[in-house]
């Protein structure tokens, strides 16, 4: 038995590295919830999750008041059992964002311990499919940017070897979105993927109309066109357009993904390891997607998702949005348009403890 002898959590506010806007919000800061677990055999595991500006204190309270006290004395090797027990004691608040984010912070710390104990990197212990995975860029595609800015960003991404770019859409008129996507397609040519993201901002009718005007530009996928709880709308949209429909960043359980896939409402799965409750449920979603022959292109968190996408056959893309550079000592290596998963034991995130302490919320 390998007992957990201490469990703690902290909230760290990370400023955004650049202005980030979409059709419904601005990314003001990243509230990062960090969990540290120590075992009686001398190992220290660190996990984390995040919010975009709100709710971080609620996640921290959930951890400190309800989840972390249950971990001390547990066998850290029993990751699935720990996840199920913590899920069960929070039944009154599941399925929900705050609980899933809290579970994820614990679960990723347990996986860090699992990998450290095995002496293996996450990408191998979680599946070991291949080490390097394609990358697309979102950092140059925010909604507030001008068309010229979008073109410059896409060309820079292409020059650096990235395989695709994502553009935020949701301008007041469909023609504006079409003109922006058309300009980027003309600049990068046919050999580069262009994805679009509406951030749940549209009605079914509007999303169908925008998909129609975007189809000539060979769009790789149409992300979150509708509110995440509108499974039927996504199903109808997927049937009405040749553009693959992508969902998942705003789904918080394996069951929600099952509903989308079973009804043919998702052509691309974008499970977010923090929002779905950690690595343990993320892998279930990824294998579920594989069973439906659907690609997995997770949302955000490239520093962690690179290893998970590398672990599974359905993993297709990692999204390039750097956000941990202020609190880590290394950067994600990108070679020939592919992110390379860390090969050292653990999650592969080299935390800068001094930086974390400096940004810790009192």
Active-site annotation, residues:
168, 299
* 3-state SS track over 299-333: CCCHHHHHHHHHHCCCECCEEECCCCHHHECCCCC
CA distance to 1, 43, 76, 83, per residue, from 40 (Å): 9, 7, 10, 20
Run of H or E residues at 166: strand 164-168
Burial (Cβ within 10 Å: 0-12, 13-18, ≥19) of residue 255: exposed
What count of Cα atoms within 13 Å lies in the side-chain half-sphere of residue 231?
11
Q: Three-class SS of residue 138?
A: coil
**311: closest CA among 120, 128, 135?**
128
Strands 338-340 and 334-335 come out as antiparallel
Q: To which residue do tokens 């609620």 refer?
A: 58
Run of H or E residues at 188: helix 174-188
> Could you tell me if 135 and 321 are in contact, meaning their C-beta atoms sit under 8 angstroms apart?
no
User: Reduced to 3 DSSP states, what percent helix, strand and coil does the chain have, rounded to the nearest 5?
Assistant: 40, 20, 40
> Could you tell me if 61 and 87 are in contact, meaning their C-beta atoms sit under 8 angstroms apart?
no
Q: Is the dihedral of CA 336, 283, 35, 60 positive or negative?
A: positive
> Could you tell me if 271 and 288 are in contact, meaning their C-beta atoms sit under 8 angstroms apart?
no
């Amino acid at each position: 038995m390998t007992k957990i002898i201490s469990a703690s959590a902290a909230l760290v506010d990370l400023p955004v590295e650049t202005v980030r806007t979409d059709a419904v919000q601005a990314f003001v800061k990243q509230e990062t919830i960090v969990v540290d677990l120590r075992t009686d055999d001398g190992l220290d595991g660190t996990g984390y999750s995040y919010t975009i500006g709100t709710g971080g204190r609620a996640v921290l309270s959930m951890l400190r008041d309800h989840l972390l006290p249950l971990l001390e004395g547990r066998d850290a090797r029993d990751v699935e059992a720990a996840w199920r027990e913590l899920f069960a004691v929070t039944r009154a608040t599941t399925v929900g964002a705050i609980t899933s984010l809290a579970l994820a912070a614990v679960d990723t710390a347990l996986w860090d311990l699992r990998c450290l104990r095995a002496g293996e990197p996450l990408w191998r212990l979680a599946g070991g499919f291949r080490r390097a995975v394609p990358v697309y860029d979102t950092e140059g595609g925010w909604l507030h940017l001008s068309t010229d800015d979008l073109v410059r960003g896409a060309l820079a991404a292409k020059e650096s070897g990235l395989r695709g770019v994502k553009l935020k859409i949701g301008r007041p008129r469909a023609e504006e979105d079409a003109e922006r996507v058309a300009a980027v397609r003309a600049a990068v040519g046919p050999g580069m993927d262009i994805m679009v993201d509406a951030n749940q901002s549209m009605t079914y009718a509007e999303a169908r109309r925008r998909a129609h005007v975007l189809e000539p530009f060979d769009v790789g996928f149409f992300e979150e066109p509708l509110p995440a709880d509108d499974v039927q709308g996504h199903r109808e949209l997927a049937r009405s357009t040749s553009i693959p429909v992508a969902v998942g960043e705003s789904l918080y359980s394996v069951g929600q993904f099952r509903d989308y896939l079973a009804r043919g409402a998702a052509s691309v799965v974008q499970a977010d390891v923090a929002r779905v409750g950690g690595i343990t449920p993320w892998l279930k979603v990824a294998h579920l997607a594989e069973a439906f022959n659907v690609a997995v292109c997770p949302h955000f968190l490239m520093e962690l998702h690179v290893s998970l996408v590398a672990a599974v056959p359905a993993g297709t893309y990692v999204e390039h949005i750097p956000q941990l550079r202020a609190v880590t000592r290394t950067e994600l290596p990108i070679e020939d348009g592919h992110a390379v998963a860390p090969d050292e034991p653990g999650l592969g995130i080299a935390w800068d403890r001094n930086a974390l302490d400096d940004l810790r919320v009192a």
